[in-house]
Amino acid sequence: MHSRWYDSDWFKRLERWWDIASSVLVMACGPYIIGSVIADSSALNCFNAILWAIVATWIAWSAFSSWRTRIDPPRVHLSPRDVPLCDVQRIVDSEPEKVPAVKALREIYPGLGLIDAAHLIDAARGAGGPGNGRNNGNGL
């Protein structure tokens, strides 16, 4: 798959540092804007102060979230068709219960959704297989 220029690592680093630089610039304007409201509390100065507070909050949140998520790998959804049936069958054979089997399958394939993993486990077990929930011998 061809990656775009804005998906590259250097662009993400540049974006993070741009968020920091813009935060510093907006925060540096704060004392001037607040001082103008204190000196002359006209409607325009109050509007500028409210606008500055909104922009400062938005830019600070953007900078915080870009630095907070810098290590997280991108989440990729995995189709159930991409999971080999031999892996599903091996997990079904090794896990007697459904929940640990789904958990084991999702540990091997992290992009697989919970419902997709449960459907794969159910399909591999069959309608009357062990651990199905209806015929597991616990009387429920």
Q: And the tokens for 80?
A: 């159930």
- Total number of residues shown for the chain: 140
Instruction: Give yes or no for a contact between 116 and 106, defined as CB atoms under 8 angstroms apart.
Output: no
Rg (CA), the chain: 27
* Domain positions in the chain: 7-68, 80-125
Determine the pLDDT at residue 9. Answer: 76
Place of tokens 């068709």: 81
Query: Would you state the torsion angle of the CA atoms of residues 41, 42, 48, 52, taken in this order, to the nearest 10 degrees?
Result: 20
User: What does each of the 140 residues of the chain score in pLDDT, given as a tens digit?
Assistant: 456 766 777 787 888 888 889 989 999 999 999 999 999 989 999 999 999 999 999 998 988 888 887 776 666 788 889 999 999 999 999 998 999 999 999 999 988 999 999 999 999 988 444 544 444 444 44
Position 106, amino acid: R
Q: And the tokens for 51?
A: 């606008």
Entry pTM: 0.47
- The rounded distance, in Å, linking the Cα atoms of 48 and 26 is 12
